[in-house]
Amino acid sequence: MNVVNGPGDQHPELADMTIDEAMRRIAALEELVAGQRAELGLLRLQLEMLSATDVITGLPNLTGIMHALEKQLARHRRTAEPFGILLVEAAGIEQVERAGQDALHDALRHAGAMISAALRQSDTVGRIDERTFAAVLPDLDRDGANVVVGRIDANLRAMPPGPVDAPAQLMPRLTVMLVDEGFEGDATELMEAVNRYRVDARPDVPTIIESSEIGG
């Protein structure tokens, strides 16, 4: 005959436990599990934030900029508010690399700070490749775009990013795509379009185009 052991046989400490004590232990375990779930959720959020951040400048990377662009495009579809996408190619910054990687990273952080200083709090700026920064600019028209590119160009040219022994003269190439209410494409189409215009951008004349010029 087989004897089936009960909970009290396997865990003698349970035999003398009252219902109230058992309930308290269950509540404590539930609280512990809830705390661990909250910590796990926080870690996931931190990982998601890091995956959208440029590790050199601390600004959004291409992923972060695309997220901001998608949010702005969704707002644009609801309100028809015009906005802009700005690309800033920091031409000349590669000269700083002669002084080492640390100097180049400092120069990139400097360039990012100078661009940010020329923008509004509502704007989102990030670094999307080796020497290119991008910004999503809500509520922007052509007059506003001219003001923005003028400020950024002045900031970057006036303050060389390199160390004293390895100065660099930045010749920023700026391209702005203004998105009007007729645009029906997505964020990827917009980024691809402004990138195409960036190829022909000149350091002495900012390029400002409208989304109606690309169709979509």
CATH superfamily of the domain spanning 62-213: Reverse transcriptase/Diguanylate cyclase domain (3.30.70.270)
pLDDT band at 1 (very low <50, low <70, confident <90, very high): very low
pTM (two decimals): 0.75
Sheet with 124-127: strands ordered across: 124-127, 132-138, 83-89, 173-179, 207-210
Cα dihedral 121, 207, 114, 52 sign: positive
Write down the domain spans for the chain.
12-51, 62-213
Cβ-based neighbours of 115, under 8 Å, separated by 6 or more: 88, 125, 133, 135, 152, 155, 156
Q: Which residue has the higher pLDDT, 59 or 31?
A: 59
Which of 72-81, 140-149, 157-166 shows the lowest mean pLDDT across its residues? 157-166
